[in-house]
Amino acid sequence: MMRHAKKREIPIWATKPAFIVGIIIVVTAILISFFPQFIAPYDPIEVNSKAILVAPSAEHFFGTDNFGRDVFSRVIWAARIDLQIGVFATIVPLIFGSMMGLIAGYYGGVVDNILMRIIDILMTFPFTILVIVIMTILGQGMRNIYIAIWLVGWMAYAKLVRGEVLVLKNAEFIEAARVTGFSDKRILLRHMLPNVVSSAVVFAASDVVLCMLTGASMSFLGLGVQPPTPEWGAILNEGRAYIMNAWWITFFPGLFMAITGIGFSLLGDGLTDFLRTKGK
Amino acid sequence: MNKLLEVKDLQTHFIMKNEVVKAVDGVSFTIYEKETFGLVGESGSGKSQTCRSILGLVKKPGKVVGGEILYKKQDVVKMSKDQLRKIRGHEISIIFQEPMTSLNPVLKIRKQIFEAFDRTDMTKEEKRKKSIELLKLVGIPSPETRMEEYTHQFSGGMRQRAMIAIALASEPNLLIADEPTTALDVTIQDQIMQLLNQLKEELGMSILLITHDLAVVAQMCDRVAVMYAGMIVEMTDTFTLFSTPRHPYTNALIQSLPNQKGANERLEPIHGAPPNLADLPMGCPFHPRCNFAEELCRTSRPELTDLTPTHQVRCHFLNKTVGFKGTFTPDTKQGGCDGENS
Amino acid sequence: MEKIVEVKNLVKWFPLKYGIADKIMQKKRKYVKAVNGVSLAVFKGENLGVVGESGCGKSTLARNIIRLYEPTDGQVFINGVDITKMKGRKLRNIRPMMQMIFQDPYSSLNPRMTVYEVLSEILTVHQMVEKQEIPNRIKELLEMSGLSMEIADRFPGEFSGGQRQRIGIARALALEPELIIADEPVSALDVSIQAQIINLLDDLQKKLGLTVIFISHDLGVVRYVTDRVAVMYLGSVVELGETEKIFNKPYHPYSYALTKAAPSLDPTDRKREQIIEGEIPSPINLPSGCKFHKRCKWCQEICKTEDPVYQEIETGRFVACHFPLGQEERKGE
């Protein structure tokens, strides 16, 4: 019971082991991406003709690839780019999409109608297909990956937030805010947004994974990061040819991708409980 | 009169991690055949949990931790799930406050009534006939066509009637009505109350009415128990309760109703708020809000004592509670006058 | 007496969803006809009740007066100013003088703002007091509503229904309004708490000289609280007059049915006869003639075809009925 406000209990998040695991993974991933130079023993793009396709050993934890580059160092350095893609590709749609959803839901009418029809049509296509189509139009490169994901990604947020706004719009405290004579801007940003944004944030946490994978897929398809820049998808792509006799090239970047993905998912799940209970 | 349901010292507690919420704390009452018994109280008084306990429907982490519920001398608490199911929906039926959520929206009304006949060996034609009869009984016009409709095609009052028809299909001996008119408008509430009164007479069943509305009690019940903080504080027949209430809480409830006051008289609200059931005050649970409380009330919990064989009150100072103003004076208005509002 | 609110022929229809398919089929556009031509005035300092069953349009009427909705037709005057079509800053500037108290104390407070934040935001945005005076003013508002400053830093989730309703009242008072619209302010509360809130509203009205429009379905509360009452049925006012007069001697058959259907607290006064049959018809397809004719015991031919005029049949007593009760000897029919 929430009546006893004074009694400090253990914070809710601390009671969820899955959430803690998620935090640990994500924080580790972020640390790795900030300081790869302290972890990676080798230069990730340094070619070593004396150690080509060496199996994992004490010298090369994850072995080496066909150019003799240290796979461990490449995977560590790649975290930086992949996380960057995951986070940047998510934040812009999160903000833009939430705003669009907020406005469409609150004002309704023609704008809302047109916007939602467009989203309905576009969302019938799979996310990755749409991104690939846009990439082929824009051409390859990191910048274009961002643009392509931004163009497609905001729609999910807009729809999500709009749905919440529609429910909240008729809540009496929003009516009260209007009766008080607050401006629409204030009502939207101070009264609506904090109450609808939590589900968008939760979605974003798992969306990071999707964006990372999309970025990796683009590199895998040769549309994204160009060699020799280390990126998990790109490393996978390069290792594909040697998968029969040098499994380590594809296995480790895949493993890292999976673990990071799980980390963000757990974080997202935990955030759901955390954000829902806060303040209520 | 024969006893139909006997609740003895019922205790239903919700056991949480760091507290125990005593939702029902030693409730005893008897429902006789062919009578309407009312449980009245505010939210959190334990009236709904009492009713859930009778049906074995207490939700986790709640549990009946003590007492007996004897239905026709069999203890419901000790029954197996199968035995309980035989009684529930057969001997005892229930109607809820909100028919929209307690009726199935994807089944036709006909199917929902037929479900009650599942355990009988009636033919389809017999079931049909019986359903039409039931719908007619509860006042649904042209039942032949309406039974082929879904609940969303029914208005609020009609839905409540349909739910009553379904509850009656198994010919229960006891109908539990949990706030049956609370969600309805006054004119519809009036219709449903009269319907229930009339059905009780015609079918000879007993009704356990759970409500927060004293006026509904006055209109429907033969006997009534007033609940506060999981306990019965006063129990007697309806006439006595409304003419000479003896518990300070009953009196305070009546006095806080605007119906009892002229336009210039001030309402007398009960000060404070209902107690936290996990942390009841020492002594009488009502003492912090009671105008008559003395030292004894703060330290010792009063027992439910017989004032007369048919009037029980839980109060230390019954000598102080004489002369409470009821809603009517018994001598001058005996016999019942139709229509006229006083 | 000075009119603070005047409503003239107010109409509010809500369009039903009208898709492309309906357009192709050339279906007629449908509306929920929530308010159908209501005219009334509210005088300064009085407490006007609006009573009726769910779906009678009482809440919609209130939300049109306070301009949460824009009326479909008709006019709303506040202190003589036409606010019917007012928008934007102009509307925002007039809002402080009329405030609302809501029904559901659980949804009427922002779950993510403390009591202090709620009140200080209002005081700041409208510059009600000097900045350094804000804490004092909040203390004053809370105490006026029967609360203390200790609770200011808590979130709404920590309060009971009665306390929340008090916070809602403090919020409404923060802008020092002249008019308060109370939309079922005590319906969601327990009986013992109801009386506290009714007394509080009563005290505040007297102390601050407020005008109140009190919307409720509870006739007992309305009878006790209000000076005059408007009885609504299917979006129209069918009778309006002094509360005691209407309760003692209703002229409109619906007012009669409503007052008689309210259950009495006297167990010896149990009704045997059906007061009123049937239920409120759908506000989408309104009945022809008098909207009440299908449920009226005294219905005549003319009632089925002709909508009765809403007129003043005694000083201050308005009725919309072809054959008002007690006007001629026709009760036995």
pLDDT digits (tens, 9 = 90+) for B103-120: 888 888 888 888 888 777
> H or E segment at A186?
helix A184-186
Q: Which chains touch C (3 or more CB pairs under 8 A)?
A: A, B
Residues of A in contact with C17 (CB under 8 A): none
Query: Does C43 share its domain with C82?
Result: yes
Q: Is A1 on the interface with B (CB under 8 A)?
A: yes
Residue predicted with more confidence, A248 or B100: A248
Residue C168 maps to a domain: yes
Partner C, chain B 300-339, Cβ-Cβ below 8 Å: 327-328, 330, 333-339
Helix, strand, or coil here: B246? coil
Residues of C in contact with A176 (CB under 8 A): 100, 102, 108, 168, 171
Query: Does B164 share its domain with B198?
Result: no
Residue C157 maps to a domain: yes
Q: Who's near A212: CB < 8 A, 6+ residues apart?
A: A82, A83, A85, A86, A257, A260, A261
Q: Is C325 on the interface with B (CB under 8 A)?
A: no
Is the Cβ pair A3, C158 closer than 8 Å?
A: yes
The range of the structural domain enclosing residue C313 comes to 234-264+274-333
Nearest CA to C142 out of C181, C110, C115, C109 is that of C115
Is the Cβ pair C191, B185 closer than 8 Å?
A: no
The range of the structural domain enclosing residue B19 comes to 1-91+173-266+302-333
Q: Is B238 on the interface with C (CB under 8 A)?
A: yes
Residue with tokens 């001697």: C249
Residue predicted with more confidence, A14 or C73: C73
Per residue in B148-194, pLDDT (tens digit) is: 888 888 887 888 888 888 888 888 999 999 998 888 888 888 888 98
Helix, strand, or coil here: B112? helix
**Lowest-confidence region among B232-241, C273-282, C283-292:** C273-282
A18 and A267 Cβ atoms separated by less than 8 Å: no
Kindly report the length of chain A: 280
d(CA A257, CA A260): 5
Helix, strand, or coil here: B319? coil
- Using a pLDDT cut of 70, give the percent of chain B over it: 95
Query: Does C196 share its domain with C170?
Result: yes
Among A179, A190, A280, whose Cβ lies nearest the Cβ of C66?
Answer: A179
What's the whole-number mean pLDDT along residues B79-83? 86
Nearest CA to C190 out of C155, C211, C212, C164 is that of C164
Query: Does C218 share its domain with C116?
Result: yes
Domain termination site, one of B115, B138, B171:
B171
Query: Does B199 share its domain with B157?
Result: no
A98 and A181 Cβ atoms separated by less than 8 Å: no
**Does pTM surpass 0.90?**
no
Residues of A in contact with C66 (CB under 8 A): 179
Is the Cβ pair C263, B269 closer than 8 Å?
A: no
Residue B280 maps to a domain: no
Interface-testing mutation among C14, C107, C120, C173, with chain A (most A C-beta atoms within 10 A): C107
Residues of B in contact with C269 (CB under 8 A): 328, 333, 336-337, 340-342
Residue C269 maps to a domain: no
| CB crowding B234-260: b at 16 or more within 10 Å, else e | bbbbbbbbbbbbbbbbbbbbbbbbbbb
Query: Does C156 share its domain with C129?
Result: yes
Residue C80 maps to a domain: yes
Kindly report the length of chain B: 342
CA distance C276 to chain A (A): 33
Q: Is B280 on the interface with A (CB under 8 A)?
A: no
C269 and B328 Cβ atoms separated by less than 8 Å: yes
What's the whole-number mean pLDDT along residues C70-91? 93
Query: Does C258 share its domain with C138?
Result: no
Interface-testing mutation among B97, B179, B185, with chain C (most C C-beta atoms within 10 A): B185
d(CA A170, CA B156): 23
CATH number at residue B252: 3.40.50.300
Residues of C in contact with B221 (CB under 8 A): 267
B84 and B28 Cβ atoms separated by less than 8 Å: no
Partner B, chain C 151-180, Cβ-Cβ below 8 Å: 160, 162-163
Among A171, A180, A194, whose Cβ lies nearest the Cβ of C122?
Answer: A180
Is the Cβ pair A173, C100 closer than 8 Å?
A: no
What's the whole-number mean pLDDT along residues C278-289? 86
Query: Does B22 share its domain with B125?
Result: no
pLDDT of chain A, 280 residues: tens digit per residue? 344 444 445 666 666 788 889 899 999 999 998 888 888 888 888 888 888 888 888 888 888 888 888 889 999 998 888 888 888 999 999 999 999 999 999 998 888 888 888 898 988 888 888 888 998 898 888 888 899 999 999 999 999 999 999 989 888 999 999 999 999 999 999 899 988 888 888 889 888 888 888 888 888 888 877 778 888 888 888 888 888 888 998 899 899 989 998 998 888 888 877 666 544 3
Can you say whether residue A57 is alpha, beta or left, with left for phi > 0 and alpha for psi between -120 and 50 degrees? beta
Interface-testing mutation among A2, A4, A9, with chain B (most B C-beta atoms within 10 A): A4
Query: Does C49 share its domain with C147?
Result: yes
Query: Does B3 share its domain with B130?
Result: no
Is the Cβ pair C265, B268 closer than 8 Å?
A: no
Is the Cβ pair B197, C270 closer than 8 Å?
A: yes
Residue B295 maps to a domain: no
Structural domains in chain B (count): 2
| Cα angle A139, A140, A143; round to 5 | 100
Is the Cβ pair A3, B19 closer than 8 Å?
A: no
Q: What is the mean pLDDT of chain C?
A: 90
Per residue in B286-301, pLDDT (tens digit) is: 999 998 999 999 999 9
Chain B residue with the nearest C-alpha to that of C276: B187
Nearest CA to B94 out of B52, B65, B66, B36 is that of B52
CATH number at residue C155: 3.40.50.300
Return the pLDDT at A1. Answer: 37
d(CA C100, CA A177): 10
Query: Does C210 share its domain with C100?
Result: yes
Q: Who's near B20: CB < 8 A, 6+ residues apart?
A: B13, B14, B278
Q: Is C59 on the interface with B (CB under 8 A)?
A: no
For residue B242, name the pLDDT band (cuts at 50, 70, 90). very high
What's the whole-number mean pLDDT along residues B222-232? 95
CA distance A277 to chain C (A): 10
Residue with tokens 């072995």: A63
Return the pLDDT at C222. Answer: 93
Helix, strand, or coil here: B217? helix
Return the pLDDT at A14. Answer: 66
Interface-testing mutation among B18, B20, B22, B280, with chain A (most A C-beta atoms within 10 A): B18
Query: Does C252 share its domain with C225?
Result: no
Query: Does C76 share its domain with C172?
Result: yes
Residues of B in contact with C190 (CB under 8 A): 42-43, 212, 274
Query: Does B167 share its domain with B184?
Result: no
Q: What are phi and psi for residue A261, nearest 5 degrees? A: -60, -45
d(CA B223, CA B271): 28
CA distance B247 to chain C (A): 15
Chain B residue with the nearest C-alpha to that of A7: B18
Is the Cβ pair C107, A171 closer than 8 Å?
A: yes
Task: At C80, list the tokens.
Answer: 């003589």
pLDDT at residue C274 tops 90: no
Query: Does C166 share its domain with C259?
Result: no
Residue predicted with more confidence, C214 or B18: C214
Residues of A in contact with B276 (CB under 8 A): 1, 3
Query: Does C10 share its domain with C87?
Result: yes
Chain A residue with the nearest C-alpha to that of C174: A180
Tell me the count of A-B CB pairs closer than 8 A: 4
Is the Cβ pair C265, B254 closer than 8 Å?
A: yes
Among C100, C104, C158, whose Cβ lies nearest the Cβ of A179?
Answer: C100
Among A2, A5, A176, whose Cβ lies nearest the Cβ of C100?
Answer: A176
Query: Does C35 share its domain with C175?
Result: yes
Is the Cβ pair C95, A181 closer than 8 Å?
A: yes
Return the pLDDT at C178. Answer: 95
Residue B203 maps to a domain: yes
Q: Is B182 on the interface with C (CB under 8 A)?
A: no
Chain A residue with the nearest C-alpha to that of C105: A172
Structural domains in chain C (count): 2
Domain termination site, one of B127, B151, B171:
B171
For residue B218, name the pLDDT band (cuts at 50, 70, 90). very high
For residue C333, name the pLDDT band (cuts at 50, 70, 90). very low
Residues of C in contact with A166 (CB under 8 A): none
C322 and C300 Cβ atoms separated by less than 8 Å: yes
